[in-house]
Amino acid sequence: MNTPAQVGNVIRCILVEDQVMFSQLLAAVMKTMDGVEVVAAASTVREGKKAIKETPADLLIVDLGLPDGSGLELVDYVARQRLGLKIIVLTGQPQLVTDARIKSQKIFAVVDKMSAFKELRLRIPSLHAGKNEVGHGTDSQIESLTPRELEIFRLIGTGLTNKEVADKLFISPNTMVTHRKSISRKLHLSGSALVQKSAMHFIAD
């Protein structure tokens, strides 16, 4: 059974990506990062489960779209097995990762593949400090939102744009932007992390 394997400041990573060249580039980028070691690589859900089961690791980087299924199957597998892995999901469509499965606190981040190399360089080092972007925004902070802000926060988690939320609530785009800035300030979250936190808070299992 897989168990957390972080030794000292070394984060051991399993990479699941079906595009060979992209996978090799990701591995090469991570080799240049201090305290990061790629301990296994796979290209399918089946291979990913095998690697997770057999290889002690701390971090799973998984593509959303794999030849034999969704990378979220591996997220579910990690949750069911209660494994000590943080997860970074790679996808060309980050907005798709807004359903109930993102409630898993093991999802550390959802990264757009178009900016993956830069984003991984920024995000992985924060694992050393035990930070979890998706986990920020505590219940007490959410309770500080006004009723209107809470309503907007809920709609943000459905993937609607600012304009779509504004139209739905019959408010002006400028008013919507003001509310969103206030929500971001109170929760210390912005961008995709704000969307993810909303989905985690409101969407039931």
The pair of three-digit structure tokens given for residue 108, joined into one six-digit string: 């550390």
pLDDT of residue 179: 95
The torsion defined by the Cα of 142, 148, 154 and 158, in degrees rounded to 10, comes to -150
Q: Where are the domains of the chain?
A: 11-134, 139-202
32 vs 6: which has the higher pLDDT: 32
pLDDT of residue 140: 65
Mean pLDDT of 7-25: 86
Q: What does the alpha-carbon distance between residue 57 and residue 29 come to, in Å, rounded to a whole number?
A: 18
3-state secondary structure of 140: helix
DSSP 64-77: SEETTEETHHHHHH
Confidence band, pLDDT 50/70/90 cuts, at residue 200: low
Express each pLDDT in 79-138 by its tens digit.
Answer: 888 787 889 988 887 766 655 455 555 677 888 887 788 778 777 876 765 544 444 445
Express each pLDDT in 139-191 by its tens digit.
Answer: 667 888 999 999 999 888 777 889 999 999 999 999 999 999 999 888 888 88
Q: Does the global pTM surpass 0.85?
A: no
Domain 139-202 has CATH 1.10.10.10: yes
pLDDT of residue 133: 46
Instruction: For domain 11-134, give the CATH number.
Output: 3.40.50.2300
pLDDT of residue 96: 65
